[in-house]
Amino acid sequence: MSRPAIEMAPPTDAAPDARPPAVVVEGLQRRFGDIEAVRGIDFEVKSGEIFGFLGPNGAGKSTTIKILCTLLAPSGGRASVAGHDVVTDRDEVRRHIGLVFQDTTLDDYLSAEQNLRFHAELYGLPRAAIAPRLREVMELCGLWERRGSLVGTFSGGMKRRLEIARGLMHAPRVLFLDEPTIGLDPQTRSSIWRYIRELKQREDITIFLTTHYMDEAESCDRIAIIDAGRLVALDTPEALKARVGKDRVQIRTDDDAAASVALAQRFGVTGAVHDGVLTFAVASGEQFVPRLFAELGVAIRSISVSRPSLDDVFMSFTGSTIRDAEATSVDHMRNVARAMTGRRPS
Amino acid sequence: MSVAPAFTAVPARTFRNELRAIKIVWHRDMIRFLRDKPRIISALLQPMLYLFVLGSGLGAAVPRASGVDLRMFMFPGVMAMAVLFTCFFSAGSMVWDREFGFMREMLVAPVNRSAILVGKCCGGATVGTFQGLVMFAVAGLVGVPYSPALMIGVFAELVLLSFAITALAVMISARIRSMQAFMALVQMLMMPLFFLSGALFPLAGLPGWLTLLTRLDPLTYAVDPIRRLVLAHAAPNMPFAGVTWRAWIVPTWLELALVAATALLALGVAIVQFRRAD
Please list every residue in chain A whose beta carbon sits closer than 8 Å to the beta carbon of residue B34. Answer: none
CA-CA-CA-CA dihedral for B75, B78, B84, B86, to nearest 10? -100
Contact B80, B223 (CB under 8 A): yes
Q: What is residue A132's predicted lDDT score, i.e. its pLDDT?
A: 93
pLDDT category at A10 given cuts 50, 70, 90 is very low
> How far is the CA of B97 from the CAs of A121, B70, B176, in angstroms?
18, 41, 11
C-beta atoms of A124 and B35 within 8 A:
no
Separation CA A55–CA A228 (nearest Å): 9
Q: What does the radius of gyration of chain B's CA atoms come to, in whole angstroms?
A: 21
Q: Please tell me which of the candidates A108, A128, A202 has its beta carbon nearest to residue B6.
A: A128
The yes-or-no verdict on residue A107 having pLDDT over 90 is: yes
A81 phi/psi in degrees, rounded to 5: -125, 130
pLDDT digits (tens, 9 = 90+) for B141-191: 888 888 899 999 999 999 999 999 999 999 988 888 888 999 898 888 888
Q: What is residue A344's predicted lDDT score, i.e. its pLDDT?
A: 44
Handedness of CA A72, A76, A80, A86 (dihedral sign): positive
Q: What is residue A71's predicted lDDT score, i.e. its pLDDT?
A: 87
Cβ contacts from A onto B, under 8 A: 118
Number of H helices, E strands in chain A: 12, 14
ipTM of the complex: 0.86
- Flag whether residue A343 sits within 8 Å of chain B, measured between CB atoms: no
Q: What is residue B144's predicted lDDT score, i.e. its pLDDT?
A: 86
10 Å Cβ neighbour count for A162?
Answer: 25
Domain ranges, ordered by start, for chain B:
15-276
- Nearest Cα residue to B243 out of B211, B207, B265: B211
E strand or H helix at A323? helix A322-341
Q: What is residue A345's predicted lDDT score, i.e. its pLDDT?
A: 40
- Nearest Cα residue to A250 out of A325, A320, A319, A302: A302
Stronger pLDDT, A121 or B203, i.e. the higher one? A121
Taking CA–CA distances from A5, the nearest residue in chain B reads: B4
- Flag whether residue B1 sits within 8 Å of chain A, measured between CB atoms: yes
CA A273 to chain centre: 26
The yes-or-no verdict on residue B53 having pLDDT over 50 is: yes
pLDDT category at B277 given cuts 50, 70, 90 is low
pLDDT digits (tens, 9 = 90+) for A218-272: 889 999 998 888 998 899 988 888 777 778 888 888 888 888 888 888 888 888 8
How much of chain B exceeds pLDDT 70, in percent? 91
- Flag whether residue B276 sits within 8 Å of chain A, measured between CB atoms: no
Q: Please tell me which of the candidates A124, A136, A140 has its beta carbon nearest to residue B10.
A: A124
The yes-or-no verdict on residue A197 having pLDDT over 90 is: no
Please list every residue in chain B whose beta carbon sits closer than 8 Å to the beta carbon of residue A124. Answer: 10-11, 13-14, 16-17, 20-21, 110-111
Q: How close A81 comes to chain B (CA, Å)?
A: 14
Highest-confidence segment of A176-190, A268-282, B68-82, B103-117: B103-117
pLDDT digits (tens, 9 = 90+) for A123-135: 999 999 999 999 9
- Flag whether residue B112 sits within 8 Å of chain A, measured between CB atoms: no
Taking CA–CA distances from B28, the nearest residue in chain A reads: A118
Q: What is residue A14's predicted lDDT score, i.e. its pLDDT?
A: 42
- All residues at 6 or more sequence positions from A18 whose CB lies less than 8 Å from its CB, including other chains: none
- Nearest Cα residue to B94 out of B177, B186, B24: B177
Q: Please tell me which of the candidates B3, B24, B109 has its beta carbon nearest to residue A132.
A: B3
pLDDT digits (tens, 9 = 90+) for B1-31: 344 444 556 777 788 889 999 999 999 999 9
Is the entire prediction scored with pTM above 0.95? no
Q: In the 3-class helix/strand/coil scheme, how is chain B assigned residue by residue?
A: CCCCCCCCCCCCCCHHHHHHHHHHHHHHHHHHHHHCHHHHHHHHHHHHHHHHHHHHHHHHHCCCCCCCCHHHHHHHHHHHHHHHHHHHHHHHHHHHHHHCCHHHHHHCCCCCHHHHHHHHHHHHHHHHHHHHHHHHHCHHHHCCCCCHHHHHHHHHHHHHHHHHHHHHHHHHHCCCCCHHHHHHHHHHHHHHHHHCCCCCCCCCCCCHHHHHHHHHCCCHHHHHHHHHHHHHHHCCCCCCCCCEECCEECCHHHHHHHHHHHHHHHHHHHHHHHHHCC
Q: Please tell me which of the candidates A2, A95, A135 has its beta carbon nearest to residue B10.
A: A95
Contact A303, A31 (CB under 8 A): no
10 Å Cβ neighbour count for A169?
Answer: 26
Contact A73, A24 (CB under 8 A): no
